[in-house]
Amino acid sequence: MQADYLRDFYTLVFSHPKSVGIQLWGFWESQINQTNSALYRNDWSPKPNAIAYQDLVFGEWWNDFEGITTEAGQFSQRGYFGDYTATVELDGIETEMDFSLNQDGGTDSTLVLTNTQAGDVPLENGNFETGDVDGWTITADDEFDDAPNVEFGGTNSSYFPIEPTAGNAFLTFGLKGQDIGNILVEQLIQVPDVAGITLSFDFRGAAQLLNMFRGTPFDLQVERESGESFMTPIAIYHPSSGASASVSNIQRKRVNLENFRGERLRIRFSLTNNGSGENNYTFVMLDNVILAPYSLPQAQLEVGDQNHVLVGMSASDDGSNQLESSTDLDAWDIEGAFEDLDLKDPFKYMDEDFSGGAKFYRLREL
């Protein structure tokens, strides 16, 4: 009976979305006031309630997945929140990566195999998890006050006291009004020869431009290893005149590299100050720079009471997407268009009452 009670009670609490954990007050007969409530006897042999606990925590609720990736190198499963270790084997060589599924975090992780692309790692230290800028070439004048610096979640950064979007670290750098010049963060990358390959990255910007603004843009240049430029610099964060110190939402940019599969390219993030007021500044955060096939936007449906429906959406970057609905699959109505989603709060809900029949929803990239 005690084992049945523990199993049922734990299942009840675990199933409730407001639960954050269960505290078990004592589990060994030798160190508990009410010995009959222990999980383990004095000799550490498990009681039936201990077996029930183990079956739930290390069995039913313990994710252990295996499978083969798609041709694009993708593998997906639904898992519980928590910490994971992914192990991928290719040609007898294993590559491991630790990652987490958090309630407020992203659901995608990218593991770069060490034995792909003829031994070349496609992109190094894209999450800055080494704690420094290994893999990147940094060019910045020595007199700049806020040259690139790797910070960790929970730090007391005055500009970005936030959690990284991936892993435990992110890169921050900035320019003040008196810092005339550039900060360049660049790397030679090997573009994997897989369909739909893209370069994506997360960023956040903060600016205070109280006086005349003459330019502190944060851009990305992509060129061939030879230096040949084949695309216009991509504007990432261009604060306008009069910008306050408010910090923008975390956003994600995506660059399609499908036409450059198998090539070596140079990516260069640049922050440039051509001259602005003395008290002005622009600061940026960079994280989760990855090479991976593009993930299509997704729609999510939640049903409240009998006639209440919540529809939301999420996307893997800051592109434009459109939510549509239909009661007849031959005709679709536009419910709304969305862009520049906040990746920390990716779902924007449409709340409506509906009764009778069937209704369908879809999300399209514009």
In a shared domain, residues 162 and 311: no
Give domain status of residue 174, yes or no.
yes
Evaluate whether 56 touches 9 at the Cβ level (below 8 Å): no
Give domain status of residue 207, yes or no.
yes
Domain boundary residue, one of 20, 39, 60: 60
pLDDT attached to residue 50: 97
In a shared domain, residues 27 and 54: yes
Give domain status of residue 35, yes or no.
yes
More confident residue, 313 or 117: 313
Domain boundary residue, one of 248, 275, 293: 293
Evaluate whether 318 touches 202 at the Cβ level (below 8 Å): no
In a shared domain, residues 134 and 45: no
Give domain status of residue 107, yes or no.
no
pLDDT attached to residue 292: 82
pLDDT attached to residue 219: 93
The domain in which residue 218 lies consists of 118-293
Best CA proximity match to 207, nearest among 281, 145, 277? 281
**pLDDT reading at 27 higher than 90:** yes
pLDDT attached to residue 117: 44
In a shared domain, residues 311 and 237: no
Evaluate whether 341 touches 314 at the Cβ level (below 8 Å): yes
Q: What is the DSSP letter of 354?
A: -
For residues 201 and 316, give the distance between their C-alpha atoms in angstroms, rounded to a whole number. 10
pTM of the model: 0.58
In a shared domain, residues 244 and 346: no
* Structural domains counted in the chain: 3
pLDDT attached to residue 158: 61
Per-residue pLDDT of 139-169, as tens digits, reads 986 567 777 888 887 666 666 777 777 778 8
**pLDDT reading at 75 higher than 70:** yes
Give domain status of residue 55, yes or no.
yes
For residues 52 and 10, give the distance between their C-alpha atoms in angstroms, rounded to a whole number. 10
In a shared domain, residues 199 and 344: no
Q: What is the CATH number of the domain that holds 206?
A: 2.60.120.260
